[in-house]
A and B are shown apart, each in its own frame.
Chain A
């Protein structure tokens, strides 16, 4: 089995809207693979299905050899994920968040301790392990989520816009950790990002997704025509119009919380 991800005509429909449209994709083990596309292209829906939190309308997919519908529990054991929206418990410390995570993935108390320590060191948060997460900055929270995603040594790591809203220093730091893990632990990484030049530098291959379909897939160097940047390829293939995405209640709520806190 050489594929970390295999999808076969994977489809998700919400009423009239087809978010992911008969998408077939293969990602080899050990790749860093970028999913690029405008807002609402279906990237997050695709990842949600691969992570077993969303049932496909039709089609099939395997993650690390396990079927996402029939073998959900095995899929879950094999993946780590950093969601687009934060998913930490703010009222707990970093250490407690990781400890809960380890327990949910069936790690023994000793393993939990050792792995929490090493993943916190990877993202350079070990000194702050006993602070409540609500006192963390945005970048620190993101790093903590990445540490958590790695903690149970997943075969496949999904990163859904892990660097959104972060400064260049923190972004570079996060990408360096991702590269390091990919190199040292052979973790397959599937990431989405709007920072196209970063994807260009980081990913062995990228797929440009639009309206639920892959419009181009391959090594960034192969997709570029002479003198073109990957961002130009992206715009050439997906057009210049601005896409609207329907806000979930979560996003609305967050916007409201932010307004309050100002």
Chain B
């Protein structure tokens, strides 16, 4: 019972910090909006001959980008909690390490989904239209993507001493995962090596799943996308919890 209260209060802390950091929210919306507006509009003309709409094609990819970037960052914020001392306060409290990780993951996932929801709400104004009937399925993918990547962020944070490595992780892990995920280009007709890399990238399945739900066209069946992502999500949750517990016991 008290473990449950602890998870809830740690979740609430993430939300409180999120709503206080208005400039951070505004800042996080910049890149995805520019991607949509400039890249989307710019390449729309190239797509127009094929009967497709590029803006609509990348929209689920941009949602995935927002989710992954903000989730990994919020997982890695554990390092700041450690440096600014608040982590100690949580660590001496009579609650399990698993509850601490769970609170962090649910909180980080919730704030990432809120950021993605803001972008999604802006998309119709840029001429993107979604199947409203696919919203529930898209939401399920959003939950899995954000949970998985907060878990990954916590796992990475448990292996780092300070925030110096943050850019390294962003540029050499998160950016490649984004580019290889099929967020910006279709998965069929890729050269073999690239195809293999996209299939290894777990985000591919999240974005393909959301694309299927929101626009009705996906490269893989729903259950493949959902299954792979759910497995990845479970694995990252476990990895985050394991490394965090190991680091802080």
Q: Enumerate chain A interface residues (CB-CB to B < 8 A).
A: 51-53, 55, 73-74, 76-77, 79, 81, 83, 85-92, 96, 99-101, 103-106, 132, 148, 249-250, 253-254
Given A55-B249, A89-B86, A250-B82, is A99 in contact with B9 using a C-beta cutoff of 8 Å? yes
With a CB–CB cut-off of 8 A, which chain B residues contact A249? 83, 161-162
- The reply to whether A76 and B93 contact each other, CB–CB distance below 8 Å, is yes
CA A152 to CA B10, docked complex, whole Å: 18
Q: Could you give 17 example pairs across A and B, Cβ below 8 Å?
A: A55-B249, A83-B88, A83-B89, A89-B17, A92-B16, A92-B17, A100-B9, A100-B13, A101-B89, A103-B6, A104-B9, A104-B90, A106-B1, A132-B20, A249-B161, A249-B162, A254-B83
Tell me whether B122 is interfacial, beta carbon within 8 Å.
Answer: no
CA A76 to CA B86, docked complex, whole Å: 16
Q: Which residue of A lies closest to B21 (CB)?
A: A91
Tell me whether B84 is interfacial, beta carbon within 8 Å.
Answer: yes
B79, chain A: closest CB distance, angstroms: 10
Given A100-B13, A106-B2, is A87 in contact with B162 using a C-beta cutoff of 8 Å? no
B62, chain A: closest CB distance, angstroms: 28
CA A252 to CA B94, docked complex, whole Å: 29
With a CB–CB cut-off of 8 A, which chain B residues contact A79? 92
SS class, residues of chain A in contact with chain B:
mixed
With a CB–CB cut-off of 8 A, which chain B residues contact A99? 9
B90, chain A: closest CB distance, angstroms: 7
Q: Which residue of B lies closest to A89 (CB)?
A: B86
- The reply to whether A106 and B94 contact each other, CB–CB distance below 8 Å, is yes
- Total A-B pairs, Cβ < 8 A: 78
Tell me whether B91 is interfacial, beta carbon within 8 Å.
Answer: yes
- The reply to whether A77 and B94 contact each other, CB–CB distance below 8 Å, is yes
- The reply to whether A105 and B93 contact each other, CB–CB distance below 8 Å, is yes
> Would you give the 0/1 interface string for B49-90, flagging 1 where the beta carbon is closer than 8 Å to chain A?
000000000000000000000000000000000111111111
Tell me whether B128 is interfacial, beta carbon within 8 Å.
Answer: no
Task: Enumerate B68-126 residues with CB–CB distance to A below 8 Å.
Answer: 82-95
Q: Enumerate chain B interface residues (CB-CB to A < 8 A).
A: 1-2, 5-6, 8-10, 12-13, 16-17, 20-21, 82-95, 161-162, 249
Q: Which residue of A lies closest to B94 (CB)?
A: A76
With a CB–CB cut-off of 8 A, which chain A residues contact B89? 83, 87-88, 101, 148
Nearest 5 Cβ contacts at the A-B interface: A87-B85, A106-B2, A104-B93, A103-B9, A76-B94
B241, chain A: closest CB distance, angstroms: 18
- The reply to whether A76 and B162 contact each other, CB–CB distance below 8 Å, is no
CA A250 to CA B10, docked complex, whole Å: 22
A194, chain B: closest CB distance, angstroms: 20
B31, chain A: closest CB distance, angstroms: 23
- The reply to whether B94 and A87 contact each other, CB–CB distance below 8 Å, is no
CA A101 to CA B95, docked complex, whole Å: 11
- The reply to whether B5 and A103 contact each other, CB–CB distance below 8 Å, is yes
- The reply to whether A86 and B9 contact each other, CB–CB distance below 8 Å, is no
SS class, residues of chain B in contact with chain A:
helix
With a CB–CB cut-off of 8 A, which chain B residues contact A91? 16-17, 20-21
- The reply to whether B94 and A105 contact each other, CB–CB distance below 8 Å, is yes
CB-contact partner of B84 in A51, A55, A74, A86, under 8 A: A86
With a CB–CB cut-off of 8 A, which chain B residues contact A88? 85-86, 89
B11, chain A: closest CB distance, angstroms: 11
With a CB–CB cut-off of 8 A, which chain B residues contact A83? 85, 88-89
A88, chain B: closest CB distance, angstroms: 7
A136, chain B: closest CB distance, angstroms: 14
Given A106-B2, A106-B5, is A51 in contact with B92 using a C-beta cutoff of 8 Å? yes
B148, chain A: closest CB distance, angstroms: 26
With a CB–CB cut-off of 8 A, which chain A residues contact B95? 104
- The reply to whether B91 and A89 contact each other, CB–CB distance below 8 Å, is no
CA A80 to CA B10, docked complex, whole Å: 19
Which of A101, A103, A106 has the largest number of chain B CB atoms within 10 A?
A: A103
- The reply to whether B86 and A87 contact each other, CB–CB distance below 8 Å, is yes
With a CB–CB cut-off of 8 A, which chain B residues contact A105? 2, 93-94
B10, chain A: closest CB distance, angstroms: 8
A161, chain B: closest CB distance, angstroms: 14
- The reply to whether B86 and A52 contact each other, CB–CB distance below 8 Å, is no
- The reply to whether A92 and B13 contact each other, CB–CB distance below 8 Å, is yes
Given A87-B86, A253-B83, is A52 in contact with B92 using a C-beta cutoff of 8 Å? yes
- The reply to whether A250 and B85 contact each other, CB–CB distance below 8 Å, is yes
